[in-house]
Amino acid sequence: MPPKAKFTREEIIEAAFDIVKTEGFEALTSRALGTRLGSSARPIFTVFQSMDEVQQAVIESAKALYKEYVDQGLTWEHPFKGVGTQYILFAVNEPKLFQLLFMAEQPQVPDFLDVLPLIEESYREILLSIQSDYGISECLAERLYHHLWIYTHGIATLCATKMCRFTGEDINNMITEVCMSILKNMKG
């Protein structure tokens, strides 16, 4: 008969998630997790098969938190701008999680046109919001999305790595200016 679990799956994931949020993904070890739980590492493995399984659960938790940010952005009057702003806010508020999800080296390098559908669970919804809000075709909406993602990713990366800080007004003005410039250029 297997030993009774000292901690629940949720308690272990929460402790692992806290480590990653504050110290980064590389700090998540069985020893660090045991210490965070006030135990040895042994009880972790009565619930999980391996640290890979724990790490995957943390990644899923990070994705779920990020999705909350995206969903909030999609409620804005201009959802695409809301999503871009929320992307940056996620980087500001959760720099270690942003680095985990959006700055980690990929096992295979995706083509540029494939990267957004690969990393953004809400890709179709965001694309439809662009088409609807700006009255443009799917092709133009994809181009706009790609351009603005590169721009907002740059701002978010600067924030997540603490290279510099931007005010909410700065972010709002920059996103608006670049978006309107690209739209103007697209509509010719």
Q: What is the pLDDT of residues 121-177, one digit of tens each?
A: 999 999 999 999 999 999 999 999 999 999 999 999 999 999 999 999 999 999 999
DSSP state of 27: G
Q: What structural domains and CATH numbers belong to the chain?
A: 9-48 (1.10.10.60), 65-187 (1.10.357)
Counting residues of the chain whose pLDDT is more than 90, the rounded percentage is 86
The angle at the Cα of 92, spanning 91 to 94, to the nearest 5 degrees, equals 65
Under 8 Å between Cβ of 127 and 133 = no
Per-residue pLDDT for 78 more than 90? Answer: yes
Under 8 Å between Cβ of 106 and 114 = no
- Indicate the burial class of 26 (C-beta count within 10 angstroms; 0-12, 13-18, 19 or more): exposed
Residue 38's pLDDT is what? Answer: 92
